[in-house]
Amino acid sequence: MKKLATFALMTFLATSAFAHSRVDTTMPENGAVITEAPTEISFNFAADIRLTRVDMLHQDDPSVQLDLGDQTSFGRVFTLPLEGMGVGTYRIEWRGLGSDGHAMQGEFSFTVE
Amino acid sequence: MPDIWGIAAIFAKLMLYIGIAGSTGLVIIRLSFPYLVSPLSDRIRIQAVVLAGFAIAAAVFGFMLRGAALTGGADGMTDPEMLGLLWQTPVGDVLVYRVAGAALLIAGMFIPRFGTWVSLAGGTIALWSFAKIGHVPDLQQAGVRLLLLLHLLGIAFWIGILGPLRNLSRQSEHLDKAALLGHRFGRAAAVIVPVLILAGLLMAWQLLGDLGALVSTGYGQALLIKLVLVGVVLTLAAANKFRFVPAMQAGDSKAAQHLARSIEIETAVILLVLAATATLTSVLTLPN
């Protein structure tokens, strides 16, 4: 029985269909390679969402929480100011709440050369 | 792979299922077979109250965990802004249904005469919460919601019989009652189980769209695991109904021990079924 339980649990947890992330497009685009760090980033979602937290990770630097400003209501387009940290790969991790109550999360990255 | 908050959400959901289905099930059994379970009356009442209390704690904990999922840290569990946000969505509505329903169930247990009916109303309100949020209401079809409620009531009935039937089977002075309870439940199950399966398959069809998604998506695979486990439960239940219960009715006391053991294994597999369901409803997205 224990083996069966462990097997079942492992199978569930190994499943990769997690998330309710329905981000349509981002600026910069996911995987983009650009020559200068952008001064802002933007999200365009497929459905209404209330962003709750956005973090920027640059190389090995500690992560920086981005300021949502007054964008604290449900919407589809969000633009956040970004303080560039020079060349390297930037990863943006976001979390939010769908209007149906679903927690959503996702990430995208871009590289400044 | 879900993050730590996703995994915690699965466990909170599992606790919620156990609490609500377990307590409501005991209420249904008390109403359906009052004479047969009368030797366990006090025990059933205490168990129902404890399970409903468990459901309230799991509902509140699950709500707080959703706050954590919004910030990505434990701070979200008590962040008034995050919890306030959630409160305005259907997540807040179902918290009210679950807490109020379970509280009503507990209150009913202390009201003489018609109190068990009050408890049943409370349990049904709590079960209805599952039709208010998640993948099924996303389908926007009232019929499917009712189907889900029917499915849940059937499951609660099944889960509710496990404890009392096992306990009676273990008491030699009540073997006749245990045998009759097993027989009557088996007769009811012959009607309820096909409806339960049909409702489950109809909902799965509505949610998945086609059979291919059953193997090609994470949601389908988890559903497949659930179905296999349900198959195991049905096999055990068939052994109880066609072998152990008739033997008990014929006065075989050893069959009662086998039945009690079989119910224990059945309970463990049902817990796995609930865990599979909690995974399906907590962290897996439907195939589009």
Closest CA to B126 of B66, B62, B193, B56: B56
pLDDT tens digits, A36-83? 999 999 999 888 899 999 999 998 888 999 998 888 889 999 999 998
Percent of chain A scored above 70 by pLDDT?
80
pTM above 0.80, yes or no: yes
Q: Is residue A40 part of a domain?
A: yes
Q: Is residue A15 part of a domain?
A: no
Among A18, A55, A96, select the one facing B283 at the smallest CB separation: A18
B1 contact partners, CB below 8 Å, separation of at least 6:
A13, A14, A15, A16, A18
Query: What is the mean predicted confidence (pLDDT) over B36-59?
Result: 96
pLDDT at residue number B214 = 80
Any domain includes A67: yes
Report the residue from B91, B229, B285 with minimal CB separation from A17: B285
Query: 10 Å Cβ neighbour count for B62?
Result: 21
**CA–CA separation, B265 vs A6, rounded Å?**
16
Q: Are the C-beta atoms of residues B18 and B47 closer than 8 Å to each other?
A: no
Judging contacts by C-beta atoms under 8 Å, the chain A residues touching residue B10 are 12
For residue A29, tell me if it sits in a domain: yes
| pLDDT tens-digit series, residues B227-246 | 899 999 999 999 999 999 99
Tracing tokens 């807490």 back to the chain, one arrives at B99
In a domain, A91, yes or no: yes
A101 and B CB contact within 8 Å = yes
Looking up tokens 């997205």 gives B285
Q: Give residue ranges of B with CB < 8 Å to any A CB.
A: 1-2, 5-7, 10, 66, 69-72, 76, 82, 85-86, 89-92, 133, 138, 217-219, 221-222, 225, 229, 265, 268, 272, 275-276, 279, 283-285, 287
Q: Is A105 an interface residue toward B (CB < 8 Å)?
A: yes
Residues facing residue A50 across a β-bridge: A97
Task: For residue A89, tell me if it sits in a domain.
Answer: yes
Chain B nearest-CA residue for A11: B222
In a domain? residue A84: yes
Position B199 pLDDT exceeds 50:
yes
Domain with A53, as residue range(s), is: 21-112
In a domain, A27, yes or no: yes
The whole-number pLDDT of residue B134 equals 74
CATH code at A49? 2.60.40.1220
Residue closest to A93 by CA, chosen among B3, B246, B238: B3
**Cβ contacts (< 8 Å) between B225 and chain A: which residues?**
8, 11-12
In chain A, how many domains are there? 1
